Amino acid sequence: MTAASLLAVFLGGGSGAATRYSLGRFIGERYSGGFPLATFLINVSGCFALGVVETVAQNGRSSLVIALLATGFLGGYTTFSTYTLEGVILYLDGARRTAVLSLIGPVVVGILAAALGLIVGQIAQGA
């Protein structure tokens, strides 16, 4: 991995994390339900975006752009650890149904979102 790629990952990852944090707070301030909506929306949107980026990038585009956008930004934007922790905490707090929903929901919707991103990416390439 080149130094430039690593720097791109760093900047992208930092931006992605900062975006996740800001968006998380923004959504959290407006939604007070028990379901971890912020993490859900962030992860699902990230899956969709990665589907698009990975599909479009198959042309062998600059690996630096991939490092920045995919590995960096989207990798930093989405999070698996927060997602599992929130689910476990909900369960331990007694909100079992919400916990199961919060764990299974993002997986189903996220995978569908990534598939949709792939389709959109293919359409974008064909256009």
Partner 1 sequence: MTIRRISPVFLGGGLGACARALLLQSPVVWSAPFPLSVLLINLLGSFLLGVVFVLADEAEVMRSETRLFVAVGILGSFTTFSTFGWETVVLSEGRHYIAGVSYVTASLVGGVLAVVAGIVAGREAVKALGRMTHRAFLDRGEGRAVSPADDMDHIETENHDSAELA
Residues that bind partner 1 (CB under 8 A): 1, 5-6, 9-18, 20-22, 25, 43, 46-47, 49-51, 54, 67, 71-72, 74-85, 87-89, 103-104, 106-107, 110-111, 113-115, 117-118
Neighbour tally for 96: CB within 10 Å? 11
Shortest distance, CB of residue 32 to partner 1, whole angstroms? 19
Cα first-last separation, the chain: 33
75 or 98: CB nearest partner 1: 75
* Minimum CB–partner distance for residue 33 and partner 1 (Å): 20
> Which residue, 84 or 125, has its beta carbon nearer to partner 1?
84
Nearer to partner 1 (CB atom), residue 31 or residue 80: 80
Distances (CA, A) of 87 to 36, 81, 92, 108, 124: 8, 10, 9, 15, 36
User: Of 32, 61, 43, which Cα lies nearest the Cα of 125?
Assistant: 61
For residue 23, the minimal CB distance to partner 1 (Å) is 10
Choice between 25 and 61, CB closer to partner 1: 25
